[in-house]
């Protein structure tokens, strides 16, 4: 069961991080906690997944980072969306909408001989 969760997450982690960063700057640990909380524990990601994704988004110009102080007083790198990131988020949301719609159409199929099929 856990593998299925990671498979979905691997395909959507960039989208989810961009969406969370649309809400405002955050550090990697904070993003991981927020993602787990908002998804009711479905997306429990470790730092080994979050930080490489953030670096990938940074290389693409979708996020930038700066050093700051976290709520617990520790030094942390905060990430925020760039204008390119806003555009990438819009594209990813549109792609996700198309993908989710296609999956829903397949799931809605009725077996032969069933009512409405």
Tell me how far apart the alpha carbons of residues 105 and 80 are, in angstroms, rounded to a whole number. 35
Tell me how far apart the alpha carbons of residues 30 and 59 are, in angstroms, rounded to a whole number. 21
At residue 6 the predicted structure's pLDDT band, cuts being 50, 70 and 90, is: low
Q: Residue 75: what are its φ and ψ, rounded to 5°?
A: -70, 130
Task: List the one residue out of 96, 93, 97, 77 whose CA is nearest residue 85.
Answer: 93
Q: Are 55 and 65 in contact (CB under 8 A)?
A: no
pLDDT over threshold 90, residue 79 = yes
At residue 46 the predicted structure's pLDDT band, cuts being 50, 70 and 90, is: confident
pLDDT for position 77: 96
At residue 1 the predicted structure's pLDDT band, cuts being 50, 70 and 90, is: very low
* Helix (DSSP H) and strand (DSSP E) numbers for the chain: 4, 3
CB atoms within 10 A of CB 41: 9
Stretch 40-67: mean pLDDT: 94
Stretch 25-46: mean pLDDT: 93
Q: Does domain 2-107 fall into CATH 3.40.50.720?
A: no
pLDDT for position 91: 96
pLDDT for position 32: 94
The full set of domain ranges for the chain reads: 2-107
Tell me how far apart the alpha carbons of residues 50 and 104 are, in angstroms, rounded to a whole number. 28
SS3 label, residue 18 = helix
């Amino acid at each position: 069961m856990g593998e299925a969760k990671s498979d979905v997450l691997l395909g959507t982690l960039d989208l989810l991080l961009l969406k969370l960063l649309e809400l405002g700057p955050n550090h990697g640990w904070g993003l991981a906690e927020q993602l787990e909380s908002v998804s009711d524990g479905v997306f429990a990601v470790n730092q080994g997944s979050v930080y490489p994704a953030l670096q990938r988004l940074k290389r693409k110009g979708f996020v930038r980072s700066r050093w700051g102080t976290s709520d617990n007083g520790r030094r942390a790198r905060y990430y925020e969306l760039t204008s390119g990131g806003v555009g990438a988020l819009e594209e990813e949301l549109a792609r996700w909408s198309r993908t989710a719609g296609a999956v829903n159409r397949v799931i809605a199929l009725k077996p032969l001989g069933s009512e409405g099929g």
